[in-house]
């Protein structure tokens, strides 16, 4: 059974009124990195995940979660 | 002020890696010309030599300034040393793909094309292998990177 990494970056970006480019500049990565994380194509490193969490003022688990094919989500 | 100066360090690092991959592809073409030169008639070899020189010098001309600029950026800014961005990861993944391709290619030659060694020199085999290694690296990199990502739908709403 393969689990997938889901994220709520888009939601937090909307709340903070940030574009992908602006968030990328704040975190110190490229816009492509943010966009590929958002769509689930790229699993970020722990460092990037922690930087995102720190910027939004939430825990890493609030942004990222594992979901199984059955639909259950583990945070 | 050039357009490059308005890019963040991370964007410039990504741009540099893309240039390196393009340069690698050019070197692969140069190696193909170099290998081809050994297989054609002497009167045609001149064209292959010219092709090899063209691609070789092209790499030097566009990659050398970019490399010097990037070394300067790395020295000035810590952000350029970030190696866990998407493009960096795809760069490493492409390197792994190139290793796989080269290993399979050399194994296949060793197992199935014993006659090849008798008919051609080892030098030719090495040139083909290097071209395959560099070519598979750059093609793999661009295939991994040039997948369309989602448009940033917040860009317009924020600017409005």
State whether ipTM is beyond 0.85.
no
Q: Are B141 and B133 in contact (CB under 8 A)?
A: no
- Tokens for B66, please give them: 């970019």
Q: Which residues of B touch A19 (CB under 8 A)?
A: 152, 154-155, 158
Q: Which residues of B touch A33 (CB under 8 A)?
A: 10, 85-87
pLDDT tens sequence across A33-50: 999 999 998 999 999 999
Instruction: With both helix axes pointing from N to C terminus, report the angle between B86-112 and B122-145 in degrees, rounded to the nearest 10.
Output: 150
Sign of the torsion angle spanned by Cα atoms B57, B62, B63, B66:
positive
Q: Are A37 and A44 in contact (CB under 8 A)?
A: yes
**Residue B112 domain flag:** yes
**Residue B158 domain flag:** no
For residue A64, which of A75, A54, A55, A56 has the smallest C-alpha distance? A75
Domain count for chain B: 1
Tens digit of pLDDT per residue, chain B (160 long)?
445 567 788 888 888 889 999 999 999 999 999 999 988 888 888 999 999 999 999 998 888 888 888 888 777 765 555 667 888 899 999 999 999 999 999 898 888 877 777 778 888 889 999 999 999 999 999 998 886 555 555 554 554 4
Residues A19, B10: C-beta atoms closer than 8 Å: no
Go through the domains of chain A in sequence order and give each one's CATH number. 4-61 (1.10.260.40)
Q: Which residues of A touch B82 (CB under 8 A)?
A: 28-29
What was the pLDDT predicted at A50?
A: 95
Reported as a pLDDT band with limits 50, 70 and 90, residue A9 is very high
CA A52 – CA B28 distance, rounded (Å): 39
**Residue B120 domain flag:** yes
**Residue B159 domain flag:** no
CA B65 – CA B73 distance, rounded (Å): 12
**Residue B153 domain flag:** no
What was the pLDDT predicted at B76?
A: 75
What was the pLDDT predicted at A71?
A: 59
In DSSP terms, A74 is beta-bridged to: A66
Any A CB within 8 A of B82 CB? yes
**Residue B150 domain flag:** no
Interface test with A, best of B82, B91, B144 (most A CBs within 10 A): B82
**Residue B96 domain flag:** yes
Between strands A64-67 and A4-7, the pairing is antiparallel
**Residue B107 domain flag:** yes
Residue of B nearest to A34 (CA): B86
Which DSSP string do the residues of chain B spell out, in sequence order?
--GGGGS-HHHHHHHHHHHHHHHHHHHHHHHHHHHHHTTS-HHHHHHHHHHHHHHHHHHHHHHHHHHHHHHHHHHH-GGGG---SHHHHHHHHHHHHHHHHHHHHHHHHHHH-HHHHHHS-HHHHHHHHHHHHHHHHHHHHHHHH-SPPPP-HHHHHHH-
For residue B108, which of B122, B124, B123, B129 has the smallest C-alpha distance? B129
The boundaries of the domain holding residue B51 are 3-145
What was the pLDDT predicted at B2?
A: 46
């Amino acid at each position: 059974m393969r689990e997938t990494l889901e994220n709520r970056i888009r939601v937090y970006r909307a709340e903070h009124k940030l574009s992908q480019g602006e968030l990328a500049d704040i975190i110190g990565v490229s816009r492509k990195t943010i966009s590929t994380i958002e769509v689930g194509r790229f699993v970020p490193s722990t460092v990037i995940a922690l930087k995102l969490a720190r910027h939004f003022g939430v825990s890493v688990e609030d942004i990222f979660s594992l979901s199984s094919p059955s639909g259950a989500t583990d945070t | 002020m050039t357009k490059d100066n308005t890019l963040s360090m991370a964007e410039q690092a990504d741009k540099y890696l893309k240039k390196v991959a393009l340069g690698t592809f050019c070197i692969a073409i140069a190696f193909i010309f170099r290998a081809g030169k050994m297989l054609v008639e002497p009167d045609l070899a001149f064209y292959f030599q010219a092709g090899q020189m063209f691609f070789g010098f092209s790499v030097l001309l566009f990659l050398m300034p970019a490399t010097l600029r990037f070394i300067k950026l790395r020295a000035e800014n810590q952000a350029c040393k970030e190696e866990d961005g998407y493009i960096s990861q795809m760069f490493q993944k492409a390197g792994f793909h190139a290793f796989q391709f080269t290993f399979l290619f050399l194994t296949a030659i060793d197992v199935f094309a014993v006659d090849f060694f008798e008919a051609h020199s080892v030098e030719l085999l090495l040139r083909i292998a290097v071209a395959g290694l560099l070519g598979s690296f750059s093609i793999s990199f661009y295939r991994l990177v040039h997948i369309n990502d989602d448009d940033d739908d917040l860009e317009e709403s924020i600017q409005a």
